[in-house]
A and B are shown apart, each in its own frame.
Chain A
Amino acid sequence: MLILELYIFVLAAFVGYMVITRVPPLLHTPLMSATNAISGISLVGSLVAAGSQRGSVATILGFIAVVAATANIVGGFLITDRMLRMFRRDPKPADAGANAATEPPAAR
């Protein structure tokens, strides 16, 4: 069983490496927040720990883990989407003036 899991790990790491090598530096921050959201998958382990009535210790630890993992998933996917929404191509030269007019207020 362990050897099968090792296969899965090595092949997944390999696929990850191949895919992620091609992510341009432009999107490195969204990449980090995306992998962060995806690693929130530890939620599936936390759910079992929190819900299988293995005593109060397991339940409490599982509960905290569920909170942390869910926060990562929800926050991670939302912030990735928010960032990716900001990346846009050069508009037509005619739009340039309009963009200047609708400039968002500078953050404090």
Chain B
Amino acid sequence: MSARDLATQLSYLAASVLFIIGLRSLTRPEAARRGMQQAAVGMLLAVCGTLINHAIVDYRWIAAGLVLGALIGYPLGMWVPTTALPQRIAMSLSFGALAATLVGVSEYHHVFHGGEGLIEPGRMAALGFEVLLGSITVTGALVAFGKLQEVIPSRPMTYRGQNFVNLVLFVAAVALFVLVVVDPTQSGAFYGMIGIAALLGLLMVLPIGGADMPVVVALLNSYCGLAASATGFALGNSILIICGALDGASGFLLSMLMSKAMNRSFSNVLFGAFGNAPAATSAAEGTALVARSISAEDAAIQLAYAQRVIIVPGYGMAVAQAQHAVRELAELIEKRGGEVKYAIHPVAGRMPGHMNVLLAEANVPYDRLYDMDEINGEFPQTDVALVIGANDVVNPAARSDPTSPIYGMPILDVDRAKAVIVLKRGMAVGFAGIENALFFAPATSMLFGDAKTSITRLVSEVKSA
């Protein structure tokens, strides 16, 4: 090993350690920023370590690529508003997978055009995995981006026999994979596999609805990591293997947590679109039920004199961008001597941790944000639970009604609070397409209208109360 190679390897080792330190720092909010800055230094080391590689002889394209990439990356990092974070993350998953896929294609092309002309099966299999997972993620993440950005309708798009079509495509991709591992010279099979995988990614994510996006984004994150790891196997590069494994583990863990929070399996999210769940049973009995509507004045009086208030934000708060108004309302209640906490359901919003980031942006201190398990016991002592644009995650049917499609999903026990005020646009059903018994409960009153407008009115009413 030459001195240069040694320097490269040492830079990779240092980077790996710094990355793990960075991720480790995310266990504590106060240490996280510094830890991630160390990880960024690690990245710089790894890049510098690579640039001294013997194989690199021409730096023109590299320089151009680095400059252009930085020019694209800067606005993606600094200018994207926090409300657009879910689609921003979906897009970067697509970018990451694209890089991995292209490296794989370039490597494969090189083997038979100027390279040694043969490739051992282990390495070919790694290359195959890389482009297979990579291209599924490229198109899958693009569709997720489109749905989150609402370029593509975010409702589940289903058609008859879609699982069969996906299965056929999957089997075909695997067959081509085996073929190209057995005989790497079959370049048609290699590129065909990429095409089929790309189509599969598209068709797999298209039927999945908006509220299932946290699982999908986490799962694509995991694929993206595995593709990077496969790149490492293909190139014999240990830092790629390590980073891919870290990324893959993170995505895997998050998708497990998200699925658990919805009481659904991976396969159920991926193969069973939620939106067409039968809503007929509850609709029939729903006609007899009447939800009690409340004026902003009356709601404000309840809030102004409450000792303990729990705010339950959902996707509706994100859509209305009501987080700043919510924080203002909470501060008013606190000034009057009440105590305000926030209850965050793991799948509230469109990505893991969505509500936490929005509220942090609005200057809500993070020690007021509570996870479902931490806060569920406190609802019975709560004077007012204020539900802002959340629906399925507070539906008591998940606890009590075995026929409900969301039965068994862990929910926030909002219905156990002494009084519940639900802010909602109208009486539309939630994402799962089912009635919410919470809205008809005796302790619940509904404040209809846009979340931001309603909260702003509550703020001015509490001020004068």
Contact = CB atoms under 8 A, between A and B. Distances in A.
Interface of A: 1-2, 5, 8-10, 12-17, 19-55, 57-59, 61-91, 96, 99-100, 103-104, 106-108
Contact of B245 (A12, A30, A40): A12
A20 B229 CA distance: 18
B4 interface: no
A72 B102 contact: no
A75 B122 CA distance: 34
B437 interface: no
A91 B331 CA distance: 12
B74 A74 contact: yes
Given A29-B85, A62-B103, A75-B72, A16 B246 contact: yes
Contacts of A70: 65-66, 68-70, 72-73
B233 A20 contact: no
B221 interface: yes
Contact of A12 (B81, B246, B257): B246
B242 A8 contact: yes
A74 B73 contact: yes
Contacts of B361: 86
Contacts, number: 398
B114 A55 contact: yes
A5 B238 contact: yes
Interface in B230-266: 231-233, 235-254, 257
Interface of B: 12, 15-16, 19-20, 22-24, 26-27, 29-30, 32-33, 36-37, 39-40, 43, 46-47, 49-51, 53, 55-59, 61-62, 64-66, 68-70, 72-78, 80-83, 85, 88-89, 92-93, 95-96, 98-100, 102-103, 105-107, 109-110, 113-115, 122, 217-218, 221, 224-225, 228-229, 231-233, 235-254, 257, 321, 324-325, 327-328, 331, 334-335, 344, 346, 351-354, 356-357, 360-363, 365-369, 371, 452
Contacts of A91: 365
9 pairs of A and B residues whose beta carbons are closest in the complex: A70-B69, A78-B77, A74-B73, A66-B65, A28-B353, A75-B76, A16-B249, A29-B353, A28-B352
A27 B29 contact: yes
9 contacts: A24-B27, A28-B351, A37-B39, A39-B225, A46-B103, A48-B56, A54-B110, A103-B327, A104-B362
A88 B217 CA distance: 26
A91 to B, nearest CB: 7
Contacts of A17: 249, 252-253
Contacts of B334: 96
Contacts of A72: 73, 92, 95-96, 99
Contact of A21 (B70, B107, B253): B253
A19 B221 contact: no
Given A38-B247, A58-B106, A43 B354 contact: no
A103 B324 CA distance: 8
B371 A25 contact: yes
B95 A61 contact: no
Contacts of B244: 9, 39, 41
Contacts of B225: 35, 39
A41 B243 contact: yes
Contact of A20 (B89, B235, B236, B249): B249
Contacts of B22: 34, 38
Nearest to B346: A25
Contacts of B23: 16, 19-20, 23, 31, 34-35, 38
Nearest to B72: A71
A87 B325 CA distance: 18
Contacts of B62: 47, 50-51, 66
Contacts of A20: 23, 246, 249-250, 253
B419 to A, nearest CB: 25
Most buried by B among A15, A45, A63, A67: A45
B46 A84 contact: no
Contacts of B245: 8-10, 12-13, 16
B109 A19 contact: no
Given A5-B238, A13-B248, A36-B221, A51 B61 contact: yes
B360 to A, nearest CB: 4
B198 to A, nearest CB: 15
B369 A26 contact: yes
Contacts of B70: 70-71, 74
Contact of A34 (B26, B83, B238, B351): B26
A18 to B, nearest CB: 9
B353 A25 contact: yes
